[in-house]
Amino acid sequence: MPATTTLTARALLLDMDSTIVNSEAVVERCWRRWAAEQELDADEVLKVVHGRQGWATMAALLPDRPKELNLADNRRMLAQETADMDGVVPVPGAPAFMTALATVPHALVTSADVPLSDARMGAAGLPMPAVRITAESVSASKPDPEGFLKGAAELGHAPEDCLVFEDSEAGIEAGRAAGMRVVGVGDRAAAFGPTAQVRDLTQVRVEVLADGTVAVHLTA
């Protein structure tokens, strides 16, 4: 019989890309183009792009490059990604998972901006949470915890009462830095020390208890 881990929380904070929306194909296309422009090894670039805002990834890869160039490239790439929905689909189990959250306090906390998050959630056929923290909402990119702390505050819950769902190193670090427990989603997440890890959202079942506590059952 599969082993089950149960975590309880008052609110859930969800990353978007590779956590509930599979946009890996678009991300790879866009970043391979950028890597070629900068004469960088695309495979090495793709190891660090996940979870951060684009300009922050560029700064990590090219620390001596002027920030203005990174911001300009970030705007250009956001426009490219927003126009490219080829291959964008829900992560397995995401539609049922999001339906189960209808009565649960939850927020989207993404490094994407509003147009890109609108486009990808729409392409994946997923409902947009009423509370959404995007690139426009924060002054610092993940792994800074600002986004998760803002999401918790908007939902009216203490950080320790929130459970984060994330896939990337930067996102998992941000959740931990916010004082939250983190469920890692996907094989990549396992290497970064989440509280618990699942292959995808088919291994997650959400139960709302009588006192309003949310029990999240994770099946290995």
Q: How far apart are CA 109 and CA 118, in angstroms?
A: 13
Catalytic residue (one of 17, 113, 167, 200): 17
Calculate Rg over the CA atoms of the chain. 17
Q: How far apart are CA 172 and CA 66, in angstroms?
A: 28
Tell me if residue 187 is catalytic.
Answer: no
Q: Please, are residues 170 and 15 in contact by the beta-carbon 8 Å criterion?
A: no
Instruction: Return the beta strands (E) in 86-171 as ranges.
Output: 89-90, 106-109, 131-133, 162-166
Pairing label, strands 11-14, 21-22: unpaired
Q: Please, are residues 133 and 107 in contact by the beta-carbon 8 Å criterion?
A: yes
Q: How far apart are CA 28 and CA 43, in angstroms?
A: 9
Closest CA to 18 of 189, 135, 140: 189
Tell me if residue 15 is catalytic.
Answer: yes
Annotated catalytic residues are 15, 17
